[in-house]
Structure 1
C-alpha cells in the first residue's frame, strides 16, 4: 500500500510539473517574442543609452571597398576611330573606416552628424599594387573640354592652345595611387588662375582625393525615440529636405535612410530606401532572397532593372534627363557639369548597344548587379556589391 501511495504521489507531481511546464511554455511562446521585440526596438534607437549607439557612432564591422579599372588597350587606335578595347584590372581593395562626429540631438526627435571616412590600401586582399599603371581617359581634359562647350570661341581657342602647350592628351597613363588619391597637373593651376571656380579642386586631382578623410555632408535623421515609425529616416541633408539637381520633385526627393541602418523586423515585402550623396539621389532596392553571412541570417535586396533606366523606358526617371541610352544616368548637373555618368559595372542592365560599343565588356548578374545584404531583425548592412 505504501509503495502504491508513493507512486500515485509521484505521478501527481510529475503531472503537475508537466502541466506547469506546458503553461510556462505557452506563456513564453507569447511573451518572449514580445520581450525580444521590445528590447530590439529599445536598442536600435539612436540614443546614447541604447546598446547600438556606439556601433552606430563608429561602425565596428570592417568595410572593404574594391576598385576595378578598365585599362585601355588601344588608345591610339581609338583616336583613329576604332572601337575601344579594355582589360579589367583589379580589384584594388581598401579598408574603409567610418566614424560620426559633430553629433547633435535636436528637439524634433532628430540627430545631426557628420560621418568621416578614410581609406587604407590592403595589398593582401588586392590583385595588384597602387604602383600599377593604368591607361584611361584624361578626365581633366575631357571635363575642361565639356565645360568649354558653351563658352565664347576665344576661350575655346585659349583652352586648345593650353592643351597643346602643356602636352595634355585625350588619354593618360598613371598609377592606381595617382588616379585614386591625386596627382599634380599644370592644367589645374592654369584654369584656376584664369577661370577661377571652374573646377571644385585647387590642388591635386584624383577620383577619391576629395573623399579620403572627409565627410559626406551633414545628415539629420530621426532617432526613433519619440516616433519609432521614422527611425533612421533622413530628415535633411546639408539642411535640405530635397535637392535641386534634377528636373522633377520626385527625383529631387531625399528618401530613406543614410544607407547603413534601417527599421528592424523586415519582411520580404520591405524595400530598402537610402540617399546617396555620391550619386546625388535616393535609391530603392527590392527584396530578392534570404541567405546567411558568416552564420548570420540575411535578406538580400537588389537594384531593380529600372534604377538607371532612361525616361523613355521608365517615365519616373524622366526627371534625371537629359538621357542617353537606357542604363546610364547623367550626373553632370551635380558634378560641376563634368561629363560623368552612373551605371552598373560593364553596363549590366543597360541598353546592349553600350556594351557592344566596347571590346572587353562582359556584363552578368552574378558579378555586376547592385545588392545589399542586411540582418532582417536589427537591419545593419553586412555586405554589398555592385
Structure 2
C-alpha cells in the first residue's frame, strides 16, 4: 500500500510540474517575441539610456580607408591623342577615427550632431609610402580648361599664357601625401585673387584634404523615442530638407539615414537608404542574400545596377545629368563645376566603353563591388565595404595649348574603400545581449512546452496502467483489500468476465 501511494503521489507531482512547464512554455511562446521586440526597440533608439547609444556616439568599429591611385604610364602619348594607360598603385591604408560632437536633443524627437573624422596612415597595411611619386592629371589645369571651353578665344589665350607663366602642365608628378592631403599651387592663389569664391578652398588642394580633421555637416535625425517608425531617418542636413545640386526634386531629396544605423526588424524586401554628403545625394542599396558574421545572422545589401545609370537607362536618374555613358555620375555641380564623375572602381557595372577607353582597367565583381552586412533584427552594421571611384573627364580644348590633342576620355584618378567590421568586446557584448540571450529564450520556450507535455503523460500512463484489465486468478479478494471500496459497477464486470449476458434489470 505504501509504495502504491507514493507512486500515485509522485505521478501527481510530476503531472503538476508538467502542467506548470507546459503553461509557462505556452505563455513564453506568446510573450517572448513581444518582450524581445520591446528590448530591441528600447536599445536601438538614440537615447542615452539605450544599449547602442555609446556605439552610435563613438563608433567602436575600426574603420579603414584604403586608397588606390591610377598612375598614368604614358602622359606624353595622351597629349598626342593616344589612349591613356594606367597602372594601379596601392592600397595606401589609413585608420579612420570618427566621433560625434555637439549632440543636441530637440523637442521634435530629433537629435542634431556633427561627426568629425581624422585619418592616420598605416604603413604596415599599405603597399607603398606617402612619399611615393605618381603621375596624375592636373585636376586644376584640366578642370579650368573644361570650364573655359565656351569662353571667347581671347580668354583662352590669356589662360594658356597664365599656365605657361606658372609652369602648369596637363599632368603632374607628385607624392601620394600631396595628392591626398594637399599641396601648394600658384594657380589656386591666382584664381582666389582674381576670381574670389570660385573655389571652396583657399590654401592647399588635395583630393581628401576636406575630409581630414573635419565634419560632414550637421545631421538632424529622428531618435525613435516617441515615433519609432522614423528611427534614424534624416530630418535635415545642414538645415536643409533637400539639396539643390541636381535638376529634379527626386534627385535632390534627402532620403534614408546618415549611413550608420537603420531601422530594426528587416526583411528581404527592405532596402538600405542613406544620404552621402561626399556624393551629394541619397543612395539606395538592395538585399542580396542572408549569411552570418562571427555567428551573428546578417543580411547582405549591395548596390543595384541602376545606382549610377544615366537617365536613358534609368529615367529617375535623369536629374543627375548631363550624363555621359551609363555607369558614371556627374558630380560637377557639387564639386566647384569640375568635370568629376563618381562610379564603381574600374567602371564596374558601367558601360564597357568606359573601361575599354583606358588601358589597364580590369573591372570585376569580387574586387570592385560594395556591400553592407546588417544584423536584420537591430539594423546595426556588422561588416561593410563601400568602394567608389573618382574620375576626371578630359579632352583637348582649342585655344588652351596645355591640353594638346587629348582625346575625350573619362580618366580614373583614384578609387577608395571604406571598410569596417565589428570585433573585440563590442562584438562579444552585441552577440551575448542581442543574439545569444534571445536565442536562449526562443529555444527555452519550446523545451519547456515539450518537457511539460512529457511530464503530463506520466500520471495519465500511470492511471491507465493501474486501471487496466487483470487476470481473474491474479485479482486479490475483497477480503485482502479492506481499504478499497467495491465499485458500483462490480456486478456488471463480474457478469461480463464470466461470459454471462448482462440482464437489463441490472442495468
Give the alignment's TM-score, normalised by structure 2. Answer: 0.72
Residue 155 (structure 1) shift:
3.3
Matched, 1:75 2:75: yes
Distance 1:129 1:292, change over 3 A: farther
1:373 touches 1:382 (CA, 8 Å); kept in 2?
Answer: no
CA distance in 1, matches of 2:134, 2:25: 65
CA distance in 2, matches of 1:208, 1:383: 105
Paired residues for 1:156-305 under 5 Å: 156-305=156-305
TM-superposition CA deviations, 1:145-170 (whole Å, max 9, x none): 22333444443222211211222111
Paired residues for 1:7-46 under 5 Å: 7-46=7-46
Q: List structure 1 runs of 4+ shifted beyond 6 angstroms.
A: 381-386
Bigger relative contact order, structure 1 or 2, given CA contacts below 8 A and separation 6+? Answer: 2
CA distance in 2, matches of 1:134, 1:13: 83
TM-superposition CA deviations, 1:316-338 (whole Å, max 9, x none): 11111111000011010111101
Deviates more, 1:3-12 or 1:222-231: 3-12
1:370 touches 1:384 (CA, 8 Å); kept in 2?
Answer: no
Deviates more, 1:359-368 or 1:25-34: 25-34
CA distance in 1, matches of 2:333, 2:37: 44
TM-superposition CA deviations, 1:114-146 (whole Å, max 9, x none): 111111112222222212222111111112222
CA distance in 2, matches of 1:306, 1:147: 29
Distance 1:385 1:363, change over 3 A: farther
Matched, 1:382 2:465: no
Deviates more, 1:177-186 or 1:4-13: 4-13
CA distance in 2, matches of 1:28, 1:164: 80
Residue 367 (structure 1) shift:
1.3
RMSD of aligned C-alpha atoms? 10.8
1:369 touches 1:385 (CA, 8 Å); kept in 2?
Answer: no
CA distance in 1, matches of 2:181, 2:338: 19
Q: Secondary structure in 1 aligned to 2:218?
A: strand
Deviates more, 1:295-304 or 1:267-276: 295-304
Residue 302 (structure 1) shift:
0.7
CA distance in 2, matches of 1:153, 1:104: 54
Residue 272 (structure 1) shift:
0.4
Q: Secondary structure in 2 aligned to 1:384?
A: coil
Residue 32 (structure 1) shift:
1.7
Q: Secondary structure in 2 aligned to 1:382?
A: coil
TM-superposition CA deviations, 1:152-196 (whole Å, max 9, x none): 444322221121122211111111111111111111112212222
Deviates more, 1:204-213 or 1:23-32: 23-32
CA distance in 2, matches of 1:382, 1:360: 107
Give the alignment's TM-score, normalised by structure 1. Answer: 0.95
* Bigger Cα Rg: 2
Aligned residues: 383
Residue 385 (structure 1) shift:
89
